[in-house]
Structure 1
Amino acid sequence: MRRDHLQPALLTVGSVLAGMVGWSGNVLLLPAALVFPILWGHARARSVAAIVSAGYFLAASRGLPQGVASFYSSNLWPGLLLWLCASVTFVVVHAVLWTKRPGRRPFRYLVAAALMAVPPMGITGWAHPVTAAGILFPGWGWWGLVAITAGLMGLVTRMWPAVAIAFTGFWFWSAANWTEPKVPEGWQGVDLELGSTLGRDPSIQRHRDLIATVKGLESGGAPYIVLPESALGFWTPTVERLWVKALQATDIAVVSGAATIDATGYDNVLVTLSANGGRVLYRERMPVPGSMWQPWRSWLGESDGARAHFFANPVVSVGHTRVAPLICYEQLVVWPTLQSMLYDPDLIVAVGNGWWTKGTSIVAVQRASAIAWAKLFAKPLVLSFNT
């Protein structure tokens, strides 16, 4: 009886450690998440598989309660509730698809991984082990995705030690030869430390300060400057005119976060600005569920909050460059990146506004995820975050 209790306890502790280490924000530790399917495959009952799944997911997303509390300037309870609710999908999928029959586990795990990678389940598909492909198989592209998928299936079989050894070998080799993704020539991402005021301070002085920051980078020879999510606040004709006038007599093109609003809700967007004018470049495919994307509000006759354009505009054009944009939450889930990679973009632009994540690893995890995907597909990467 004691052994029956010990095995589930060890599996649960292992899953918590896999979630904490794999999603610590250190990109080279992402392969630690691959311990989760091993532990899931060793569960002897569906209830144990559920507990193991919960331990992994809750540990991987442990920064959420504190982050939500900071965002809403409230106590931890709203964050704890969202944290637990978000874990339900992951736990239910992995518990329902668990099976006692070893021969069926690889297919069952493949189905679970696929469900957590695409909507609707994939909307909360954080901490997906497949993200580690960029560390194990940098530059392999779609073949790297195939390799890690096959490996994940192997980790839930009796052959898991051989698969784990092979993965460990790739991991050590990659770590020994690791280089960060290249920043594309002519592009520069700007990191800001303006806290919660970014996007919420609509004053002319704030825009002038941002313009001065952008112009100060002109001498660096990068004509394309990327600012974080929400940097321009609400996108209005007045904001456009101010920036276009300020960029006259320069060769600078700015790509920046902003928001467009109408009677039914708003879009979290990227805009592009130059001396020739401005336009909306990209509308976010997946805003943060709960805090931004609130589709249930329409049932109550209220505005919808941020709109989700699930499979729209996976690649956009900036000059002659084809760009895969990722705003904030899109860096934590799987399908936006994979959808963009189907179109073979020239580079990835990942932006975020993470002031509310202070004291957590959320921004570091976002950066690590973006880096991992860029390495897998050998794409240059531009990062721009506000903290």
Structure 2
Amino acid sequence: MAAFVAGGAVTGTVGWSGHPLAFAFGIALPALWAFAPSRTVAALVALAHFLGASRGLPEGASNFFGAQLAIGLGLWVAASLMFVAVHAALWTPRGGWHRPLCFAIVAVLMSVPPFGIVGWAHPITAAGILFPGWAWFGLAVTFVLLLAMTTRAWPVAAGIATLAFALSASSWTPPRAPDGWNGIDTAFRFERAGQQADFAQQLATIRMVKTAAGEGARVAVLPESAMGFWTATTERLWSDELAGVDIAVIGAGALVDPDGYDNVMVGLEQFQEKWEPVFRPELRRNHRSGQGARILYRERMPVPVSMWQPWSTGGAHAHFFANPVYEFAGLTVAPLICYEQLIVWPVIQSMVFSPDVLVATGNAWWTGGTNIVAIQRASAEAWASLFGIPLVMAFNEPGGRND
């Protein structure tokens, strides 16, 4: 029993350590679950894996809510319950085809709503590490390997996964941004949950955008919340400040309505004539003030509890399967905001539309000294690597720059 639970802790803790190559350890989870001697042990394996992978949550939640660590610990355990319940309910002592079928159901359930809403630490994330550039075929092969790990053929599956990992690791190169695209990291501090970038922060960010333009960037990607509450006044500020600057901007903010708000990506395209042949001006659609700004994306899955609160009004809206891609600066963009980088269906849905670039942003002011952002970055790198597309990331976190 102890060996199985310890194995689950290793797959979660090491696999989700914040380095993309480490995701390969997740391949062992199905075997530990399938060959557990009892349903209770299988549940403990899943619990150890989940808690190990999400070990930054207690500190992060405590920072976010300004509460004692006990609150964060409670949320940490509560978040694991659905993951553990699915694995426990579908565990079977029967061999043959029963185990791979049950794990296939587990894998699918933990990939899509409602269970997939807390489907962190999904072993399918390893696909981008084992088979970079293989796209859908690589995803399918990884899924088959996961199922094979629940059968007597697990040594063969483990050997194939190990060989694939060795070949990938020997030449691993993180995905790069498209030419002219620049992700801008910041390090602004927020004092409380729900706070958005204030006027001074936005002016500082605008200066960074202008600096990037001066260094040759054609598209700047900004972190989540960089534009604060998105209003006609905010739009006019950004439009006026960037008037005549040869750069397009993908920013982010909160669009408030009577029932809550949308966490959005906003696009500003203000080019001089020399950029028009490159960036397809026919894609421009005005929003609100007519200054060239438009809402590009509304977040599909905000962070549950802290942002998405379906039991009350005032929280962030979840759009689940809406707007999986958008067009910007002549490219089809797959967007992922913060929490969406940790779960499966948003990125899989976006990849159905063959995007040209993956854009991942976040506001990590609350993560403190945890590895949450490192895991988000690693996950985005793994998915972009699997589908062989460029990646642009922008985070507000300690260690960024505010110049």
Shorter-chain TM-score tier: over 0.9
1:385 alignment partner, one of 360, 371, 395: 395
Which range moved further: 191-200 or 339-348?
A: 191-200
1:349 aligns with 2:363: no
Q: Residues of 2 paired with 1:94 and 1:205: CA distance?
A: 48
Displacement after TM superposition at 1:249 (Å) = 1.3
Find the counterpart in structure 2 of residue 168 from structure 1.
Answer: 162
**AA paired with 1:15?**
G
1:216-295 alignment, distance < 5 Å: 216-275=211-270, 276-295=291-310
Q: Does 1:124 align with 2:118?
A: yes
Provide the C-alpha distance between the structure 2 equivalents of 1:197 and 1:346, rounded to a whole number of angstroms.
36
Is this contact kept in 2: 1:268–1:287, CA < 8 A? yes
Q: Does 1:372 align with 2:382?
A: yes
Shift of residue 29, structure 1, vs aligned partner: 0.8
Q: 1:76 aligns with which of 69, 75, 78?
A: 69
**Residues of 2 paired with 1:215 and 1:200: CA distance?**
25
Equivalent residue number for residue 14 of structure 1: 7
**Alignment partner of 2:244: what SS?**
coil
Q: In 2, distance between residues paired with 1:195 and 1:147?
A: 43
What TM-score do the two structures reach when normalised by structure 2? 0.91
Spell out, residue by residue over 1:278-306, the C-alpha distance to the aligned partner (whole angstroms, 9 max, x if none).
11110000000010000011xxxxx2400
Q: For residue 5 of structure 2, what is the amino acid of its counterpart?
A: T
- Is residue 214 of structure 2 the alignment partner of residue 204 of structure 1? no
* 1:79-102, Cα deviation, whole Å (9 max, x unpaired): 112111111111111111111111
- The Cα of 1:201 is off from its aligned counterpart by 5.9
Counterpart residue identity of residue 258, structure 1? G
1:36 and 2:29 are equivalent in the alignment? yes
User: Does the C-alpha gap of structure 1 residues 245 and 169 become closer, same or farther in structure 2, counting only changes over 3 Å?
Assistant: same
Q: Which residue of 313, 319, 329 corresponds with 1:319?
A: 329
Query: Which AA in structure 2 matches 1:145?
Result: L
How many angstroms does 1:197 deviate by?
6.1
Return the match for 1:133 from 127, 132, 136.
127
> SS in structure 2 opposite 1:253?
strand
Is residue 15–residue 26 contact of structure 2 (8 Å, CA) maintained in 1?
A: yes
- Paired with 1:211 and 1:15, the residues of 2 have a C-alpha distance of 45
List runs of 5+ in structure 2 lacking aligned partners.
Answer: 271-290, 398-403
- Are residue 195 (structure 1) and residue 183 (structure 2) matched? no
Structure-2 residue corresponding to 1:5: none
Give the counterpart of 2:91 among 83, 86, 98. 98
Distance apart, 1:204 and its partner CA: 3.1
Contact 1:141 1:377 (8 Å CA) reproduced: yes
1:159 paired residue number: 153
Matched with 1:179 is 173
Q: Structure 1: which 4+ aligned runs deviate by more than 6 Å? A: none
Matched, 1:112 2:112: no
State the one-letter code of the partner of 2:388.
Answer: A
Identity %: 53
The one-letter code sitting in structure 2 at the alignment partner of 1:115 is L
Alignment of 1:338 with 2:348, yes or no, is: yes
**Other-structure match for 2:370:** 360
Look up the equivalent residue of 1:319 and give its one-letter code: A
CA distance in 1, matches of 2:45, 2:202: 48
Shift of 1:206: 2.4
Higher helix share: 1
| Aligned-partner Cα distance in 2 for 1:70–1:194 | 15
Query: Partners of 1:366 and 1:204 in 2: how far apart?
Result: 28
RMSD: 1.3
Match of 1:149 in 2: 143
CA positional deviation for 1:310: 0.3
Any stretches of 5+ residues in structure 1 without a counterpart? 1-7, 298-302
Matched letter for residue 156 of structure 1: T
* Alignment partner of 1:58 is 2:51: yes
Contact 2:183 2:221 in 1 (8 A): yes
> Alpha-carbon deviation of 1:207?
2.1
For the 8 Å contact 2:19–2:375, the answer to whether it is kept is: yes
**Separation of aligned partners in 2, 1:323 and 1:147:** 26
Structure 1 length as normaliser, TM-score? 0.95
Give yes or no for contact 1:229–1:257 (8 Å, CA) kept in 2: yes
**Partner in structure 2 of residue 296 of structure 1:** 311
Indicate conservation of the 8 Å contact 1:247/1:274, yes or no: no
SS state of the match for residue 102, structure 1? coil
CA contact (8 A) 2:59 2:367 kept: yes
**Deviations 1:57-76 (CA, angstroms, capped at 9, x unpaired):** 11111110110001111111
The answer (yes or no) to whether the contact 1:295–1:304 under 8 Å persists in 2 is: no
